[in-house]
């Protein structure tokens, strides 16, 4: 991380450059641009009406807007056809800006490294609100009673604490893996109920969770987590008892 002071008119400009951020943002940009390039090539081979083509182009633009800005896409006025090319001038500008930030503040007496840390804290706060609203679904709230509303928010806050704890553990054990990515891997596991009828009218209930994929097993091992034993089977006697009464 490089930090440079640019004082001017009782205000402060802090220029920061991070090699890690450069590598991360370039990797994201290349991945998005690669997907968009393949998608546009695919659309050129499809037989579509002009309106359908415009909708699919709009969908691709909304999915990777940053990559879309690096291309010059021209749609024919009276035909369902388009051309596209890479804008190398824009790409050069983006490459020069990746991983580099210019902060503007009136805290002239503060260490620039601390100012950068303040900025990172702001990003973390915004990410916290984003996580609460999306991953943890704190909204919408359908409760009307004040106590229930507070309980809903409290449970969401506890879930966020667990979310942050998981992220901190992953930072030391599996660098590059976020808490969101880990939860997506855990979501692949499912709990299923297998009901097997018996010949005497009773029912055998087997509650089982699916076996984790090898990638998830490695993650569990790194986190030092052990899955609980499969629940024991349960035998239903309701049908047998009703048959006896008859």
Residues 201-226 pLDDT 10s: 888 888 888 888 888 888 888 888 88
Does residue 213 fall inside a structural domain?
yes
Domain total in the chain: 3
Does residue 105 fall inside a structural domain?
no
Report d(CA 221, CA 147) in Å as an integer.
40
Picking from 98, 123, 151, the residue at the C-terminal end of a domain is 98
29 with 83, same domain? yes
Q: Give the pairing type, strands 82-86 and 71-75.
A: antiparallel
Of 233, 162, 230, 224, residue with least CA distance to 191: 230
127 with 150, same domain? yes
The kind and range of the H/E element at 191 are: strand 191-197
Report d(CA 92, CA 70) in Å as an integer.
10
139 with 117, same domain? yes
3-class DSSP assignment, residue 87: coil
The DSSP annotation for 207-219 comes to: EEEPPPPHHHHHH
44 with 72, same domain? yes
Report d(CA 171, CA 157) in Å as an integer.
21
122: left (phi over 0), alpha (psi -120 to 50) or beta: alpha
Radius of gyration of the chain measured on its C-alpha atoms: 27
Does residue 212 fall inside a structural domain?
yes
Picking from 165, 184, 203, the residue at the C-terminal end of a domain is 184
Does residue 14 fall inside a structural domain?
no
How much is the pLDDT for 40? Answer: 95
- Could you tell me the residue range of the domain that residue 201 belongs to? 191-245
Does residue 209 fall inside a structural domain?
yes
Picking from 98, 130, 165, the residue at the C-terminal end of a domain is 98
How much is the pLDDT for 145? Answer: 84
Does residue 5 fall inside a structural domain?
no
178 with 225, same domain? no
Single pTM value for the model? 0.52
Does residue 136 fall inside a structural domain?
yes
114 backbone dihedrals φ, ψ, rounded to 5°: -65, -35
- pLDDT per residue of the chain (246 residues) written in tens, 0 to 9: 566 666 666 667 777 888 888 888 999 999 999 999 999 999 999 998 999 999 999 999 999 999 999 999 999 988 889 999 999 999 999 999 998 887 777 776 667 777 777 777 877 788 787 777 777 777 777 778 888 888 888 888 888 888 888 888 888 777 677 888 888 888 888 888 888 888 888 888 888 888 888 888 888 888 888 888 888 888 877 544 444 444
């Amino acid at each position: 991380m490089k930090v440079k002071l640019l004082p001017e008119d009782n205000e402060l400009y802090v220029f920061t450059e991070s090699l890690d951020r450069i590598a991360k943002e370039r990797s994201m940009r290349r991945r998005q641009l690669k997907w968009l390039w393949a998608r546009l090539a695919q659309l050129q081979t499809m037989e579509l009406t002009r309106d359908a083509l415009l909708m699919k182009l709009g969908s691709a633009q909304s999915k990777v807007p940053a990559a879309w800005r690096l291309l010059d896409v021209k749609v024919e006025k009276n035909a369902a056809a388009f051309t596209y090319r890479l804008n190398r001038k824009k790409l050069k500008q983006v490459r020069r800006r990746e991983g580099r930030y210019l902060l503007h503040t009136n805290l002239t007496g503060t260490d620039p490294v601390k100012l950068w840390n303040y900025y990172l804290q702001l990003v973390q706060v915004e990410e916290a609100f984003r996580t609460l609203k999306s991953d943890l679904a704190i909204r919408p709230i359908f409760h009307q009673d004040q106590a229930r509303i507070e309980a809903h928010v409290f449970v969401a806050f506890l879930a966020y604490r667990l979310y942050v704890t998981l992220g901190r553990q992953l930072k030391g054990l599996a660098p590059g893996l976020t808490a969101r990515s880990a939860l997506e891997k855990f979501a692949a596991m499912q709990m299923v109920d297998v009901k097997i009828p018996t010949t005497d009218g009773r029912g055998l209930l087997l509650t089982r969770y699916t076996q984790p994929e090898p990638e998830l097993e490695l993650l569990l091992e790194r986190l030092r987590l052990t899955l609980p034993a499969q629940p024991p089977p349960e035998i239903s006697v309701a049908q047998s008892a009703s048959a006896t009464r008859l």
